[in-house]
Structure 1
Amino acid sequence: MHPCQAGIEVVTSYALRRCARCGDMKKLTDFPVKIGGKRGLRSWCSACDAPIGTEYCYPCRSYKPAEEFAKRYLGQHPKCLACRAKIQRDWKLRKKYGMTLEGYEDFVATQGGVCAICQKDEDLVVDHDHHCCPTSESCGECIRGVLCRQCNSAIGLFGESVGRIAKAVSYLKARSVKR
């Protein structure tokens, strides 16, 4: 039985929703359609919607060109590629070494922003003592420094043995061609 036939007063009104950006209560018709969304609508109103060809990055709190977002996430992902990379880097550092991205950046800055061995300033990675933590994850206490990927790999290939590295140095000194 329909509510009107049962004597129940039905108040017809527009469904309202609060815009996530401006905070105003607006009619549902004021919200753009979002395919695949929970309610089928964006969480912000048309007035707050991004200009054509741009997307809103929540961590940056700004509109950026759509090219700066992963194509598969356009219209549904709130982070630009730069912010996503930074957030993923922070997560990996926390999981693997127990340090934040800010802690890593401070560590690099105290080391002069370069590899502790070759002084290159590119592709820097965290070096930790594998004798303390033999798995790929570190306890955070055995971090030795920041090295470029090549120097870190070289130390790993020598099994982190000071004796083997010293023998390699003496080998190179004895057999190198004078230039």
Structure 2
Amino acid sequence: MSDSGESDGKACLQCGRTLPVADFHRNVRRPDGLAFYCRHCAAQRSETSRRKRGIEERKQSSAPVPDGSKWCAACGQIKPVAEFARTKAERIGLHPYCLPCHTAQGAASKTRIFGSTREYHPRHRHGIGQAEADELLAEQGGVCAVCGVADPQHVDHDHRTGWVRGILCFNCNGGLGQFRDDPVLLANAITYLKGTTWRRALIHPGVYRISSPARGRPPSRSS
């Protein structure tokens, strides 16, 4: 941008006024580095576009909002800023809705777009709908693919590829995650259990003794 542009200002294509460059938004794609329209006209054009797209006019509080508080655009109440979730998407760093309204708005959006929150989670996280998850569970016989407990609720996926592998219960799904889906670690865990768990040893026909490879070791300091 030239020095003359800084001193002479710029003419707005909407209102035709020549205004200081500070009254224009920046636009790095323009030769002069400034937007076509002044800030006031740009805001008007944005609101007109929102109305054409069916977006309601932005609501504002009718009462003054004291410092340390924020007005919720959903319930219309003025609440402490601590009752608003933080976000980098907003200029002031806070969501426009308070926490209860934010939760309600999110659930309503998921229901409107996906039909229900239960449909949203598998579709959003794993790319499958609830019907597909139910079909996969039916192929497993309605039980966890690992331990066989009834009515598992968690969709398991490969963290490298994102592919869905099956439906697991909470414990099995978390267990695979703790072992980082590594077959070597799981095999080592199996070997470890086989060498340390108590087992029955046949010492006479029909007579067993419960023994463990750890038997005979000195007790730990905590025992």
> What TM-score do you get using the length of structure 1 for normalisation?
0.47
* More RCO (CA 8 Å, sep 6+): 1
Structure with greater strand share of residues:
2
Structure with greater helix share of residues:
2
> What TM-score do you get using the length of structure 2 for normalisation?
0.38
Larger Rg: 2
